[in-house]
Amino acid sequence: MDEPLNDVGKVSGHVAIMGAGPGDPELITMKAIRLLKEADVVLYDRLCNPAILEYTRTGATLLNVGKNPGKPSFKQEHIQEILIQEALKGHFVVRLKGGDPFVFGRGGEECLELAKYGIPFQIVPGVSSISAVPAYAGIPLTMRNLATGFTVISGHLHCGSYSYDWHALASVSTLVVLMGLKSLPEISRSLMDNGKSPETPVAVIQWGTTQDQNVVSGSLLDIADKAAAFTSPATIIIGDVVRYRDSLQWFHPEHHLSMAGTLTASAT
């Protein structure tokens, strides 16, 4: 990689770091669609519904840089290098990420790197799985008098030296966990050890907002067993709001576009 540029005004290409939404292709924003139509190069992730790539123009270069569990994938440094090199060639590059790019999406890191090289960028927020996935499962994150707020954590519990304050987390009314399937037994145990009732309702939603949406609900005590067969991506909701699902289920996945079946399709 070349040395970072100091001469900011000289780069003719630019980059849009964009959210593709959580899976339902209709949850992409109008701004993202407009920019996809203009892009010369699109780098997209595993959790972007490939149906969205229909908006790209003929001749655009489409590159699947998704991190597929258990399969060789692009390293983050390589992705950043492509973004930079393509922009330096004068191209308009779209970096398309599932959900919102600034929510557990490394969008911030990529922007920092672009800034270092003096490459102009814009950020297009997306509909995050944090709220969209429970909404499609009929679970409101807040409810007056029951849940006046919610807390979101990553299920990657052992990142560096950081550790969660389980006592504090046990007292929040609604807890949303992303990337938490593997650590669900540990999360459940830690919350119960810190005073959360074992009867607290929990829902695990796999492939939310898509035709493949699958939901299992239970309690802190039994959810790890009940969701043992689930695979990523899944969002976990812990709290009394989960009970509303019994009355608020509205989404019928069978009427929607499949996503899991198309994931391996990589456009070129």
Ligand X SMILES: C[S@@+](CC[C@H](N)C(=O)[O-])C[C@H]1O[C@@H](n2cnc3c(N)ncnc32)[C@H](O)[C@@H]1O
The yes or no reply on residue 238 touching ligand X (CB under 6 A) is: no
Q: Which stretch binds ligand X (CB under 6 A): 83-91, 111-119, 186-194, 228-236?
A: 228-236
Sign of CA dihedral 114, 116, 117, 122: positive
What is the Cα–Cα distance from 18 to 26, expressed in whole angstroms? 15
Please list, in sequence order, all residues whose beta carbon lies within 8 angstroms of the beta carbon of residue 122, skipping any fewer than 6 positions away. Answer: 14, 15, 16, 17
Q: Which of 104, 117, 166, 244 binds ligand X (CB under 6 A)?
A: 104
x-marked contacts with ligand X along 61-100 as a string, rule CB under 6 A: ------------------------------------xxxx
Provide the minimum distance between the beta carbon of 229 and ligand X in the complex, in angstroms, as a whole number.
15
The yes or no reply on residue 239 touching ligand X (CB under 6 A) is: no
Q: Which of 63, 179, 192, 267 binds ligand X (CB under 6 A)?
A: 179
Give the number of residues in contact with ligand X, rule: CB under 6 A. 24
Which is it for strands 14-19 and 41-44: parallel, antiparallel or unpaired?
unpaired
From the list 179, 192, 212, 240, the catalytic residue is: 179
* CB-count burial class (<10 Å; 0-12, 13-18, 19+) for 248: middle
What is the Cα–Cα distance from 39 to 251, expressed in whole angstroms? 33
How many beta carbons lie within 10 A of that of residue 77, not counting itself?
A: 10
The yes or no reply on residue 56 touching ligand X (CB under 6 A) is: no
The yes or no reply on residue 205 touching ligand X (CB under 6 A) is: yes
For residue 56, give the nearest of 107, 96, 26, 24 by alpha carbon: 96
For residue 56, give the nearest of 47, 64, 67 by alpha carbon: 64
Q: Are 62 and 36 in contact (CB under 8 A)?
A: no
Closer to ligand X by CB, 133 or 172: give it: 133
Is residue 45 among the annotated active site residues?
Answer: yes
What residues form DSSP beta bridges with 173? none
Is residue 143 among the annotated active site residues?
Answer: no
Q: Which stretch binds ligand X (CB under 6 A): 102-110, 161-169, 182-190, 249-257?
A: 102-110
First to last CA, the chain: 24
The yes or no reply on residue 103 touching ligand X (CB under 6 A) is: yes
Is residue 179 among the annotated active site residues?
Answer: yes
Residues that bind ligand X (CB under 6 A): 22-23, 47, 97-100, 103-105, 128-129, 133, 178-179, 205, 207-210, 232-235
* Residues designated as active site: 45, 67, 179
